[in-house]
Amino acid sequence: MLTGYWRVWRGGSRGMSARQIFDILKNEFTEFSWRGPINLLNFPKSGTGLRLETCLAKLQGIKRKRGFPLMTVSEFLHFYNPGLFPIYDNKMIWDRILNDRFKGDFRAFCERQRIPDNIAGNSAEDTAVFLRHYMCFASELLSVRHPTFMQVFTDWLDRQPGTKLPKRTCDGATLYATAFEFTAIGASAV
C-alpha cells in the first residue's frame, strides 16, 4: 500500500529493504507503537522527544535522498501508529498549513518553544528535529480541542466510504494524528 497507492519512493529511490525498515520499527520504535501509552496528545509531556529523534535518525537511509526523508518516514510511521505520527507532506504542510492557515499559530508556538529558524523557519531543512517539533505543534492544537472533537471526528470517519470502523479492531477516538491531519487540511481549504 505504501509503495503503490502512497508512492513513498517517488522522487527518490528505495534505500532500505522492507525487512530493514520492519526491523528498525520493531526494535527501535517499541515505545512509540500503536499499542503503547504515547499518543499525539501526551507526546510532549512523555519525555520521549529526544529518544524519538534518535530513533528517527535510524530511518535516515529509508530513501536515497539528500537530507532527511521526512515525508517518507512520516508515512511509514503514521501506519505504525496513527494515534501519534501525522503524515507530513512537504507541499501541503508548508504551503497550505504552516505558511498560510496556521501561520500565526505556528510562529507563536515556535517562539514559545524557542525553536530556531534553521529548524522551523521557511528555509528549514527536513530533519528529525523538525518532525518532533511539528508533532508537538499538532499536540498543542489538539490539546485545546472541544471535548467532543474526537467523537465528532470518529462519527465523520465512520461515514466515509470503505472505513467500516465497527469492523476494525481500533478505537477511532484514539486516532489523534489522523484527526489532526484531516482537520488541518480541511481548515486550510476554508
Distance CA 76, CA 59 (A): 10
Q: 118-141 pLDDT, tens per residue? A: 787 766 678 888 899 999 999 998
Q: What is the mean pLDDT of residues 52-74?
A: 87
Distance CA 105, CA 176 (A): 19
Which pLDDT score, from 0 to 100, does residue 186 have? 80
Which pLDDT score, from 0 to 100, does residue 23 have? 92
Buried b (16+ CB within 10 A) or exposed e, 96-116: bbbeebbeeebeebbeeeebe
**Phi and psi dihedrals of 9, rounded to 5?**
-95, 0
Residues 170 and 84: beta-carbon distance below 8 Å: no
Q: 23-62 pLDDT, tens per residue? A: 999 999 999 998 889 999 999 999 999 999 999 999 998 8
Q: Name residues whose C-beta falls within 8 Å of residue 189's C-beta, 6 or more positions apart in sequence.
A: 96
Q: What is the mean pLDDT of residues 160-165?
A: 76
Q: Which one has a higher pLDDT value, 102 or 8?
A: 102
Distance CA 166, CA 177 (A): 20
Mean pLDDT of the chain: 84
Cα dihedral 32, 33, 34, 36 sign: negative
Give the predicted TM-score (pTM) of the model.
Answer: 0.85
